[in-house]
Each structure stands twice: as structure tokens, then as C-alpha cells.
Amino acid sequence: MSTTTQSFIHRFEPATAPGLPPLLLLHGTGGNEDDLIPLGQAVAPGAALLSPRGQVLEAGMPRFFRRLAEGVFDEADLRRRADDLAAFVAESRDRYSLPAPIALGFSNGANIAAALLLLHPETLAGAALLRAMEPLRTPPRPDLTGRNVLLLSGAMDPIVTAENGRRLAGTLAAAGAQVEHETLPTGHGLSQADLTLTRRWMARQPAG
């Protein structure tokens, strides 16, 4: 059920299996709080799911932060929105009695998840980033020791270059994260391989 009682319109699905880390589901441009629920259920059956709707509108399509052009981010807005999202996660952890979640983000949602790791590392236990690009031109160097990150790129992705994906993987690894980066023979859209690899990776994550 969607609710607006906190800072973000969101949907929360309680856990139905014990010991699983909750997932923070972050949709792509034009998505909403319902979009990634099926993916979350598929990759982590029984986990609690927290799925907010992005608060920025671009031509009527929800996003998590503003961009100036394709692949060119409004970094001041990105930083402010990352602050807001981190605060929402903290509120939600209190309200729903959750441990730190693992982010599962696609495209714009993966980019805000990467920003959370860099700007608010305490917010997330880890992240699965599907078609993410480096969110900040001069990223900070937080301590991401103990954070596991899955980064899945598309070899034919017209939005995220191969070099950008490698750079993000390097940035996170340099901060101490354990990064698994794979490039799939696909474009920007998700494939069955994304689901399979993410499900396998999720099964290896520590209990929540």
C-alpha cells in the first residue's frame, strides 16, 4: 500500500521470511513506487521492500534528482535529494523497525543509490546498481568497508558508456566496497540476466 505520511510517497511491503536484509527499491525515470516491487520480490523472496517515488518531475515523469541533459546531472540538486532520501530511509527504519537496507536501483534510481553510498554511507548496507553511472564529477572518499556492491552494465547501453561504468566501479572499490562489476550483452533496459545475477548476489548477502 502506498502512503504519504512521510517525506516521500512510498510503498512498504513487510517481510514474510526472517533474517533477510530489506531492500530499498529505487525506480528509473518515469517510474513510481510500484515499478520495482516485482523485481524486488523476484530477487529477494520474502524480504521487506521499501519503495519511494522520486520527487522531481521531468516532463511529468518522476525522477530522484534533476538533470541538465542526458547524462549531465544537476549536482547541487543531486546532493540535496540524496540528503532528503537518506533522511527518508532513517525515518522509515524507525517507523518499520528495519535494519539498514540494500538498495536495488535501476538507471536514475541506481544513480541516486550510488550517490547515497558516497554521500551517506551509513544509510545503506550495500547496493545492486543496474545501469548506473558515476553521479559526481569529484566524488568524496567515504569508508565503504563492509559494503557489497553489484554493478551491472550494458555493453550496448546508449546512455552509460563502458568507461563511465568502470569509473564508478573503481570509485566504490577505492572507498573500500567489495564491488562485483559485470557487463552484459544488452542495452539500457533490463534483461533476464540482470534478474538472475541479482538474485544470486542477493542470496549471498548477510542477514538483515
Q: Which residues are catalytic?
A: 107, 157, 188
Residue 157: C-alpha distances to residues 54, 59, 163, 165, 186 (Å): 23, 23, 12, 10, 7
- In 61-160, which residue ranges form alpha helices assigned H by DSSP? 75-96, 108-119
Residue 149 near residue 180 (C-beta atoms within 8 A): yes
Q: How many Cβ atoms from other residues are within 10 Å of residue 84's Cβ?
A: 16
Q: Which three cell numbers stand for residue 126?
A: 550495500
How far is CA 100 from its chain centroid?
13
SS percent in the chain: helix, strand, coil, step 5: 35, 25, 45
Q: How many CB atoms lie within 10 A of CB 168?
A: 28
